[in-house]
Amino acid sequence: MTMPTTTPPSGKAALTGTPFADVTASATTLRRFLHGLPGVDTVGLEARAAALGTRSIKTTAKAYAIDLAISMIDLTTLEGADTAGKVRALGAKAVHPDPTDRTTPKTAAVCVYPDMVATAKEAVAGSGVKVASVATAFPAGRAALAVKLADVRDAVAAGADEIDMVIDRGAFLAGDFMKVYEEIVAVKEASGQARLKVIFETGELSTYDNIRRASWIGMLAGADFIKTSTGKVGVNATPANTLLMLEAVRDFRAQTGVQVGVKPAGGIRTSKDALKFLVLVNETAGADWLDNHWFRFGASSLLNDLLMQRQKLATGRYSGPDYVTVD
């Protein structure tokens, strides 16, 4: 998958001269803007997500979609028991997902904790696979801002190409939108050249209206991606919350010219699931987002099922779960 060589500007500078130039001037203007966003039609949103999920993709189109989905995966291990050996194995798998078939695309990235970034960088060196690191006291985000920024700087210093941060959900739910915005701006600055993915933990935001507001805070603050979840709570990525976020990035680009990526994460385990999400992308944001520079899957086990489905298309039979490595 060919990636663009430059990233469009983001943050305050990119919004100069747009309808949103003064939205973040104060807590009052930001609150007024966020509460002025159109309310989400829950029934309509879920019905559209369900309807798009019934679309069928077959034969050649399915083979293309499976390869596209593989190329969009942030292959992830975020466990307390992670070891250097496990991260090296994950990196090898990201570079050559199917060692018996070198036509299989690489994954977009491997995603690890900050202390494993250097190991991951070594494992994928020269391959083009990115190294993403969760930071800002992931997954809860319960730490002082100085600690969160140190977490980010450590990951970047170790070589992280991308930073996945978590927002302060407590501040958001208390209505302190400016605090959430300012933290994202500070993390964006600390990330330097690394692309920033902003995780909302949609399962904790309670309402679709809150997910829409969080999406706009992230985009206004300069997020390169907005991301559904950490994968560490009961409700993670769903077709409906991802559809809502895709609508947000579509509308944001239409009004500012700035493109922002989307990353659903957690609970996407099968090829069927992944293809449904690709349909959502195409039908909602459009073909410009059908690229791993703008759309990712945060997943650990999804790759295995995609590989088995890919083998099925090539040979006419399933190879079974022992065909792929166990994560």
Catalytic residues: 164, 227, 263
| Number of neighbours of residue 170 by Cβ within 10 angstroms | 14
Cα separation of 210 and 278, whole Å? 24
Give strand ranges (E) for the chain. 73-76, 109-112, 130-134, 162-166, 195-199, 225-227, 261-263, 297-299
Strand bridging mode 225-227 / 261-263: parallel
Residue type, 123: A
| Residue among 108, 45, 59 nearest 275 (CA) | 59
* Contact predicate 226/263, CB 8 Å: yes
Contacts of 199 (CB under 8 A, 6+ apart): 138, 164, 165, 166, 167, 227, 228, 229, 230, 265
CA atoms lying within 13 Å on the CB side of residue 32: 9
Contact by Cβ (8 Å): 36, 23: no
Vertex 311 angle, CA 308 and 313, to 5°: 115
How is 208-257 classified by DSSP, letter by letter?
A: HHHHHHHHHHHHHTT-SEEE---S-SSS---HHHHHHHHHHHHHHHHHHS
Q: Are 141 and 168 in contact (CB under 8 A)?
A: yes
